[in-house]
Amino acid sequence: MAQVLEFKLPDLGEGLTEAEIVRWLVEVGDVVAIDQPVVEVETAKAMVEVPCPYGGVVTARFGEEGTELPVGAPLLTVAVGAPEGLETSGPVTPGPSGARNGSAPSGPSSPSSSSGSSATESSGGSGNVLVGYGTGAPAARRRRIRPDRLDRTPTLSGALTVEAPVPEAPVSEAPESGAPGVPVPAASSTAAPGSVAPVSDGPVPVVSPLVRRLARQHDIDLRRLTGSGPDGLILRADVDCAIRQAEETEAAKTRTARAAAAPTGASPAAASPAASAAPAAERIPLRGVRGAVADKLSRSRTEIPDATCWVDADATELMAVRAAMNAATGPSAGPKVSVLALLARICTAALARFPELNSTVDTEAREIVRLPGVHLGFAAQTERGLVVPVVRDAHTRNTESIGAEIARLTELARTGKLSPAQLTGGTFTLNNYGVFGVDGSTPIINHPEAAMLGVGRIMPKPWVYQGELAVRQVVQLSLSFDHRVCDGGTAGGFLRYVADCVEQPTVLLRTL
């Protein structure tokens, strides 16, 4: 028997609770295979393609591109073995008699009354959507039958109820008593056959995703509206009317406020042009990557008592060593080495000497947790915003290996294909803001880490070298650290060791 299964936005892991639809990969009516990606969503940490655990025909999509959905919200419905013309609409209610028009009996042995897991198995679901999400029991199946099948609609109690296309009823602008601003339907002769039953306590009687989106964009509470459609169905005209009334109410409040603020004796007409000429402030929602960054930085500033120290270093020798590495030919030649890779290797060596900075604070237990391995994060600016990919087990890698991993993660970041696992779990962060042409800053620690090293631009400056004034390649290094995990002596020792390695790269030979 045909089944219409509802696929909900899965748990994407890493504590993510919502995602924004970036691009639909399927259309209504497309045939999808099990585990085929159906939509591309953007979370606070990455863009991912969401596979559907069911195979069949897509009958409905919930949400337009740009819509933000919470985890567990419906994404689409798939008809598994559905006949031609089957679409999603009203709920299927099993009744006492299932022998008419294909409705299933509700007895104990009926397949429709079996557990959600058996329904999933029978539908061919894979059970594997994303990490942190398994295919659960399917939601209540929703169907709509074509108008040419309305004559076959069952009339027995509890049988399948279908919805026929009904023209939108004209909306009366007169509000009901006690419910100002609520559109009411004009009088109609008879209800259309097969109309949806009135909903008094339950889901909002809205079928069209467009109507829901329009209401959401204008902050209209659909539960406060009385629909003008058949049996209270909320139509677009109802939402448009509510929007107009809300705008009129807001305009009246604005006029009242301007009149109250105008000087005594000044007419509202004289004050209106000046007030209307002021441009309105732009409001940008804090969501996606920007929202995640805002939350994390705010938490860092709130919880971590950070301090910053900095030092200027002569990077001339480091740049000469890098040039020699990249100029090598023959068997000793290898991939090009970046400055960031050299600095990352210096950081892992410094953390081995000062493990206090490779730690975190357990506030509930009031304990400092020193971490056994170094998972080095590095700040990367992308079109989607600032992200911090993590090089796993950086303490076990050499400069070439770290550089290769940084290049790989940077490319994934630019294309928006980093997974949440590649953006979490860091223990120390390296921030090379010198690429923006600035000399220094006071980095904000990447919570829950204990420190971050910032690197400014490397540029020619006057420098006293071997007792004489010379032009050298100078860089400013800044270290922000959690004062709970160490004192200034430890932080200063770490930063001084990093500066010594920058000025004399041969110092690293001791630890290689």
- Cβ atoms within 10 Å, residue 429: 23
* Separation of alpha carbons 344 and 481, rounded Å: 17
CA 386 – CA 432 distance, rounded (Å): 12
Q: What letter represents residue 45's amino acid?
A: K
Retrieve residue 174's tokens.
């007169």
Q: Taking CA 293 as the corner, what is the angle to CA 292 and CA 294, rounded to the nearest 5 degrees?
A: 90
Please tell me the chain's helix, strand, coil percentages from 3-state DSSP, rounded to the nearest 5.
30, 25, 45
Q: What are the residues facing 452 on neighbouring strands?
A: 429, 480
Give per-residue burial for 267-299: e unless 16+ CB within 10 Å, then b. eeeeeeeeeeeeeeeeeeeeebbeebbeebeee
The one-letter code for the residue type at 415 is T
Q: Strand, helix or coil at 285?
A: coil
Active site residue 483: yes
Q: Using alpha carbons, select from 72, 15, 67, 73 the residue that is nearest to residue 285.
A: 67
The beta strand positions in 13-67, using DSSP E, are 18-24, 31-32, 36-42, 47-52, 56-61
Of the CA atoms within 13 Å of residue 450, those in its CB half-sphere come to 26
Exactly one of 218, 375, 447, 483 is catalytic; name it: 483
The span from the CA of 69 to the CA of 17, in Å, is 9
User: Residue 110 contacts by C-beta under 8 Å, 6 or more apart in sequence?
Assistant: 94, 98, 104
d(CA 404, CA 69): 36
Secondary structure class of 234 (helix, strand, coil)? coil
The answer to whether 334 and 485 are in contact (CB under 8 A) is no
Q: Which tokens in the block code for residue 215? A: 């209401």
Q: Which letter does DSSP use for residue 176 in this model?
A: B
Quote the tokens at residue 92.
């299927």
Tokens linked to 76 = 């689409």
What whole-number distance in Å separates Cα of residue 460 and Cα of residue 439? 12
Residue 468: phi and psi, rounded to 5, are -130, 150
Q: Which two tokens stand for residue 225?
A: 């509206």
Beta-bridged to residue 479, according to DSSP, are: 309, 453
**Residue 502 in tokens:** 């920058």
List the catalytic residues. 483
